[in-house]
Amino acid sequence: MRIGVVVFPGSNCDRDALYAVERVGAEPVALWHAERTLKGSDALILPGGFSYGDYLRPGAIARFAPVMQSVERFAREGGPVLGVCNGFQVLCEAHLLPGALLRNAALRFVCRRVRVRVERTDTPWTSGCGAGEELVLPVAHNDGCYFADGGTLDALEEEGRVVLRYLENPNGSVNDIAGVCNEGRNVVGVMPHPERASDPLLGSEDGLGILRSVLVGAAL
Amino acid sequence: MSAEKTHATLGLSDAEYGRIVGLLGREPNFLELSLFSVMWSEHCGYKNSRPLLRRLPTGGERVLQGPGENAGVVELGEGWALAFKIESHNHPSAVEPYEGAATGVGGIIRDILALGARPVALLDSLRFGPPGEERSRYLFGEVVRGVGGYGNAIGVPTVGGELAFSPAYSGNPLVNVMCAGLVRADGIMSARASGEGNVLVLIGSKTGRDGIHGATFASDELSSDSEMRRSNVQVGDPFCGKMLIECCLELVRGGLLVALQDMGAAGITSSASEMAARGGVGVELDVDEVPLREEGMEPHEIMLSESQERMLAVVEPEKVEQVIGIAGRYGLVAAPIGRVAGHGELRVISGGEVAASVPASYLADAPAYEREVVRPAYLEGVRRFEVGDVPPPEDYGAVLLRMLSHPNLCSRRSVYSQYDHEVGTDTVVRPGADAAVMRVKGTTLGYALTTDGRGRHCYLDPEGGAASTVAEAYRNLSCVGARPLAVTDCLNFGNPEKPDAYYQLARCIEGMARACEVFGTPVVGGNVSLYNETSRGAIYPTPVVGMVGVMEDVRRHATPAFKREGDVVLAVGAPVEPSLAGSEYLEVIHGRVAGVPPEPDLAEERRYADLVRGLIERGLVDTAHDVSGGGEVFALAEMALAGGIGFEYEGDPAEGARPDVRLFGERGAGFLVALPGERLEEVERIAGDAGADCRRVGRTGGERFRVGALIDLSLKEMEEAYGRDLFGDGGRSG
């Protein structure tokens, strides 16, 4: 399976994502922001970082990158897309996911490990996890406070589209939301970094379950 | 204005001006004088420190690059090498803390990049006035935000550092940033210009009016006028910095560059003249070719601008187009602005005419001043101290809690949680331990990094304090299981034209040199920051030591955190009496900075550190911590808190007249290790064979921290004290 990792100017977790993809046994391929080709990817990851320096607003400029036209088509056709951190912000800005990520409630960058619960396993990015499974995942962001209006929130909860939930909320996200999916359930955005928890030497491999899920789904 | 009247305003003395006229055989014009003024500033020219710095050892088996390039490089193994350097950004941070700190990060990263290395780790060593002062609190908050603002965005993890507060740094904070980068040993770039006719290409941002004369500013004391110099402070653009990293690495990989140099203090002037002087060649620069942010910039402004995110490369003519194309892919400007020439001059062309022409070697050869080393009078007073001067505590538990919550001793979590310390997925031991441990992907190799500074100690005893600073770094690396290789130093001192500061500088360098010789850790690069003074006086003499070490098998490492209930805790260390002189306890609890701390026994430091490292390398010990500020019991408390496991002291700590000396006194060459009982015999045998002193101090377990009848605290109340948010209450308490 070939997993494309989009490289925006200012992405800084692209190399980590490519490395983690390799570790789960998939073929990693870097996708340059200025080109429209997805190089035959079977799944896509929008990595963390500070695309375009987060200038204006995180993700606001990246969503207009040429590659995003192809990403949007891929997503609307049901292809599995995972946005991590800045990638989540880009997906929200591109309206592939609902809501927005605001400045952390404490108004500071936060880098730590947090406990999260897998709320749904019926997405291509969590199908390999156990329902209700607790994971310890790193977060590192300035703007990770998930927000959506009341109606959207109700819909997200009712439709079971909250995919990951913080057990200790590091940023003030509404309903402790750490990750959501779209209506089609193929597009998932998460603030924690599964690619950073991909090696026992680094203290956790809880993120591998998320990255492996997409392989499991493909094999079915 | 004639050049003669101008030299003083540019920071050159009459004698220096005379020397310039003598060298050139004529009067310099304004542009030429500007070039000399920045290149002969202390910041660029090291004119007060150069003779003293010669004392430092610089060579060693693993050294691939010593002083002279943008950073030092040591060999790690399997073809990998580590480039590393520390640099200060004290003066800019005193007046514009966010940008001062941010550009400090940006600048040191480019030094590493100039070696062709990918920056992989940052550490920040910070000093501020007491957090009870509003201005100090503001500087602290903004500097931390600035370090994170730049480092987080560019994807280089900030994996370590240190922080202390003292009135000695009020108004003159220290912001030292160290960066390390990985490079293949056979792919190290040089900043040596060569090849007549080769093209000088400026890569990165456009040039603006920011930071003009920043180097001169950094070579003077801070005063009430310093606020006016806010425009001397550069503004960072981390996004552009990130693009510059990726662009330069691609250019290096493609073999497109002859040489590469960071453009830092004194901008194009220093980059071009240093590259020329290293290569023994001349360079011609056409200022009209420099892409500018604004119109109407004078040649001297273009030459001295310290606009950030710029690199200067030497490129063969036929490869220039390719370089411009790759830079364009990253949204960067690459402009040919000059060429390498055979005439040995730094020649500036403006409007087709020669606007300045001076031998590059003159610019790179600032005058050096050696002064008399006179022992300062203050030392007599501050060194007087007897244990009987301070009363023993009535409540040892309360004392420990006060120490745990003190801004100088409490957890640094509220700082490092604002830094991305995991990006890159190589951080094996994260901040909070004695040193950061990183892995090299695709190998079993690891390397460890630490920065250490002991300003108070150096103030009380410059030579001993500096030696003990190096010893502390050596211990910190050994504690995580790394073999120390080499040092980068940042020498933060007051005005060297004053006898006290000069004495401190001279003696500290001597102490560092002696320690580095004993430890076999040469100084391969660094930075000098003098004139750290305000109207209230000079800072503590604060040499900051950045040290790197290597580990063959990164899986074999240790951290301070207790790992298991029931582990035996051993004190491994030279059998010397701890002392309250110059200790944290004396300052934090009794408000005194006094006494002569114990002179470090360097041979013993090395012997015990090597023993502890050996235990870790053999896989016998995974829990180790050095006994440093706060003494033995404080170190034990840190180990318990890090692991969330309690501790019970064995034996009678109340023995003797002054238990506080035993509990909180400080000494060198001391370690604590914890291990399961079944390994005890083997560890004691190894220590015995080494003739090392090894004493059982207690056992891990439970949720309380008990030291005889003196201390009985719950981990929870200790954590509440220790885990305080240094920003939450503004650090007012404590």
Confirm whether B620 is domain-assigned.
yes
Task: Identify the DSSP state of B181.
Answer: E
- Out of A12, A195, A202, name the one closest to residue B428 (CB): A202
Start-to-end CA distance of chain A, whole Å, equals 13
Cα gap A1→A220, rounded to integer Å: 13
Phi-psi category of residue B640: left, alpha or beta, with phi > 0 → left and psi -120 to 50 → alpha: alpha
Q: Which residues on chain B are in Cβ contact (under 8 Å) with A199? A: 425
Residue B557 annotated to the active site: no
Q: Looking at residues B355-361, what average pLDDT do you find?
A: 93
Please compute the mean of the pLDDT values over residues A33-52 and round it to a whole number. 97
Amino acid, res. B233 = V
Q: Touching check for A199 and chain B: CB below 8 Å?
A: yes
Put simply, the chain B residues between 216 and 255 with a CB less than 8 A from any chain A CB are 237-240, 242-243
- Structure tokens, B532: 């750290």
Residues of A with Cβ-Cβ distance to B155 under 8 angstroms? 12-13, 49-50
How many alpha carbons lie under 13 Å from residue A216 in its C-beta half-sphere? 15
Query: Which H helix or E strand runs over B381?
Result: helix B378-382
Position B6 scores a pLDDT of 83
Task: Report the number of distinct structural domains present in chain B.
Answer: 2
Q: Which of B336, B366, B396 is the C-terminal boundary of a domain?
A: B366
Task: Note the residue count of chain A.
Answer: 220
Distance CA B548, CA B436 (A): 10
Query: How high is the mean pLDDT of chain B?
Result: 94
For residue A13, give how far its alpha carbon lies from the nearest alpha carbon of chain B (Å): 7
Task: Please tell me the distance in Å from A220's CA to the nearest CA on chain B.
Answer: 30
What integer is the mean pLDDT of B2-11? Answer: 75
> Which residues 116-175 of A have a C-beta within 8 angstroms of B?
138, 140, 142
Summarised one tens digit per residue, pLDDT across range B469-481 is: 999 999 999 999 9
Q: Scanning the structure block, which residue is given the tokens 């080393």?
A: B373
| A12–B contact, CB cutoff 8 A | yes
Over residues B421-469, the pLDDT tens digits come to 999 999 999 999 999 999 999 999 999 999 999 999 999 999 999 999 9
Is the pLDDT score of B223 beyond 80?
A: no
Q: What is the pLDDT of residues B106-157, one digit of tens each?
A: 999 999 999 999 999 999 999 999 999 999 999 999 999 999 999 999 999 9
Going by pLDDT thresholds of 50, 70 and 90, the confidence category of residue B1 is: very low
User: Which of B89, B91, B213, B421 is labelled catalytic?
Assistant: B89
Give the residue from B366, B393, B422 where a domain finishes: B366
CA distance A190 to B206: 37
Considering Cα of B56, then B59, then B60, then B66, what sign does the dihedral take? positive
Kindly indicate the confidence band of residue B11, based on its pLDDT and cuts at 50, 70 and 90: confident
pLDDT given at position B231: 61
Q: Above pLDDT 90, what percent of chain B?
A: 87
- Amino acid B235: pLDDT: 86
Q: Which of A7, A8, A11, A12 should be substituted to probe chain B, the one whose Cβ sees the most B Cβ atoms within 10 Å?
A: A12
Give the integer Cα–Cα distance in Å for B705 and B707. Answer: 7
Contact B43, B218 (CB under 8 A): yes
Q: Has residue B626 been placed in a domain? A: yes
Out of B148, B155, B239, whose CB is closest to A109? B148
Domain presence at residue B65:
no
Compute the distance between CA of residue A52 and CA of residue A33 in angstroms, rounded to an integer: 11
Q: What are the tokens at B518?
A: 């004993």
Q: Do B423 and A195 touch (CB under 8 A)?
A: no
- Give yes or no for residue B229 having a pLDDT over 70: no
Which residues does chain B have within 8 Å of residue A16's beta carbon, measured at their own beta carbons?
Answer: 423-425
Distance from CA of A98 to the nearest CA of B (A): 25
Cα A170 to Cα A106: distance, rounded to the nearest angstrom: 9
Residues of B in Cβ contact (< 8 Å) with A10: 153, 239, 242-243
d(CA A124, CA A111): 27
Q: Which residue of A has its CA nearest to B428?
A: A202
Residue B513 has pLDDT above 60, yes or no: yes
Per the domain annotation, does B501 fall within a domain?
no
Q: What's the pLDDT score for residue B216?
A: 66
Question: Which residue is closest to A86 within chain B, CA to CA?
Answer: B153
Q: Distance between CA atoms of B249 and B262, rounded to whole angstroms? A: 13
Report the residue of B240, B242, B422, B559 to disrupt the A interface, i.e. the one with the largest count of A CBs within 10 Å: B422
With a CB cutoff of 8 Å and minimum separation 6, the contacts of B398 are none
Note which residues in 431-490 of chain B have CB less than 8 A from chain A.
Answer: 439, 441
pLDDT band at B209 (very low <50, low <70, confident <90, very high): confident
Contact at CB, A50 and B425, closer than 8 angstroms: no
Question: Which of B338, B366, B394 is the last residue in one of the domains?
Answer: B366
Q: Tell the residue number behind the tokens 């187009």, with chain if given.
A: B321
Residue B110 covered by a domain: no
Task: Say yes or no to pLDDT of B732 above 50.
Answer: no
Q: Is residue B615 part of a domain?
A: yes
Residues of A in contact with B120 (CB under 8 A): none
Q: Report the candidate in A93, A201, A192, A219 with the shortest Cα–Cα distance to residue A210.
A: A192
Binning pLDDT at 50, 70 and 90, where does residue B731 land?
very low
Helix axes A14-23, A208-219, angle to 10 degrees: 60
- The confidence score (pLDDT) of residue A50 equals 97
Catalytic residue of the set B43, B91, B300, B421? B43
Give the mean pLDDT of A181-194. Answer: 98
Helix, strand, or coil (residue A146): strand
pLDDT at B46: 86
In B225-266, which ranges are continuous DSSP H helix? Answer: 238-253
Q: How many CB pairs under 8 A join A and B?
A: 84
Residues of B in contact with A112 (CB under 8 A): 417
**ipTM rounded to 2 decimals:** 0.96
Amino acid identity at B60: G
In a domain, B256, yes or no: yes
How far is the C-alpha of B468 from the C-alpha of B12, rounded, in Å? Answer: 36
CA closest to B423 among chain A residues: A13
Q: Domains, chain A, ranges and CATH?
A: 2-219 (3.40.50.880)
- Tell me, what's the pLDDT at B729? 60
Q: Is A19 part of the contact surface with chain B (CB cutoff 8 Å)?
A: yes
Distances from the Cα of A201 to the Cα of A47, A197, A208, angstroms: 22, 10, 13
Q: Measured between alpha carbons, how far is B163 from B140 in angstroms, rounded to an integer?
A: 10
Which residues span the domain enclosing B665? Answer: 404-410+558-734
Are the Cβ atoms of B239 and A196 closer than 8 angstroms? Answer: no
Judged by a CB distance cut-off of 8 A, whether residue B155 touches chain A is yes
Beta-strand runs (E) in B305-435? 310-315, 333-341, 345-350, 353-359, 427-429
Q: Judge if pTM exceeds 0.90.
A: yes
Q: Do A19 and B554 touch (CB under 8 A)?
A: no
Name the 3-class secondary structure at B597: coil
Q: Which of A13, A85, A92, A129 is catalytic?
A: A85
Give per-residue pLDDT as tens, B99-110: 999 999 999 999
Tell me the per-residue pLDDT of B289-348, one tens digit each, with 9 for 90 and over: 999 999 999 999 999 898 999 999 999 999 999 999 999 999 999 999 999 999 999 999
Q: A55 to chain B: which residues are within 8 Å by CB?
A: 239
The reply to whether B556 touches chain A by the CB within 8 Å rule is no
Answer yes or no: B43 catalytic. Answer: yes
Determine the Cα–Cα distance for residues B90 and B540; give it in Å rounded to an integer: 14
- Write the CA distances from B24 to B33, B279, B363, B390, integer angstroms: 11, 21, 11, 63
Checking if the pLDDT of B728 tops 90, the result is no
CA distance A53 to chain B (A): 5
Position B4 confidence tier, pLDDT thresholds 50, 70, 90: low
B184 DSSP 8-state letter: E
Tell me what pLDDT residue B157 has.
98
Q: What is the DSSP string of B398-453?
A: HHHHHHHHSTTTS--HHHHTTS---TTS-EEE-BTBSSEEEE-TTSS-EEEEEEEE
DSSP SS3 for B256: coil
Residue of A5, A109, A208 to mutate, interface with B, max B Cβ within 10 Å: A109
Query: Looking at the predicted structure, is the pLDDT value of residue B43 above 90?
Result: no
**Average pLDDT, stretch B607-634?**
97
pLDDT tens for B670-699 read 999 999 999 999 999 999 999 999 999 999
Q: Please name which of B731, B727, B732 lies closest in space to residue B145, comparing C-alpha atoms.
A: B727
CA B642, B643, B647 angle in degrees (round to 5)? 105
pLDDT of the residue at B220: 73
Q: What is the 3-state secondary structure (H, E, C) of A97-141?
A: CCCEEECCCCCCCEEEEEEEEECCCCCCCCCCCCCCCEEEEEEEE
Residues B367-382 have a mean pLDDT of 94
Q: Coil, strand, or helix at residue B534?
A: strand
Q: In CATH, what number is assigned to the domain containing residue B614?
A: 3.90.650.10
Spatial CA neighbour of B215 closest among B297, B271, B281: B271
pLDDT in tens, A106-152: 999 999 999 999 999 999 999 999 999 999 999 999 999 999 999 99
> What's the CA gap between B619 and B557, in Å, rounded?
8
d(CA B472, CA B465): 10
Nearest Cα residue to B41 out of B401, B423, B293, B366:
B366
8-state DSSP, B214: H
Nearest CB to A111; choose among B421, B555, B727: B421
A62 touches chain B (CB under 8 A): no
Is B2's pLDDT higher than 60? no
Higher-confidence position of B221 and B362: B362
Q: Is B160 helix (H, G, I), strand (E, B) or coil?
A: strand
Closest-CA distance, A11 to chain B, in angstroms, reads: 8
Query: So what's the pLDDT on residue B656?
Result: 76
Residues of B in contact with A140 (CB under 8 A): 152, 420, 422-423
Contact A12 B416 (CB under 8 A): no
Angle at B272 between CA B268 and CA B274, to 5 degrees: 120
Token couple for A17: 């994502």
Only one residue has tokens 């870097």, namely A30
DSSP string, B186-212: GG-------STTPEEEEEESPB-STTT
Residues in chain B closer than 8 A to A85 (CB atoms): none
Question: Which of A20, A55, A111 is nearest residue B419 as measured by Cβ atoms?
Answer: A111
Does pLDDT of B734 surpass 60? Answer: no
Query: Would you say residue B595 lies in a domain?
Result: yes
Probe site for chain A from B150, B423, B426, B622 (most A CB atoms < 10 A): B423
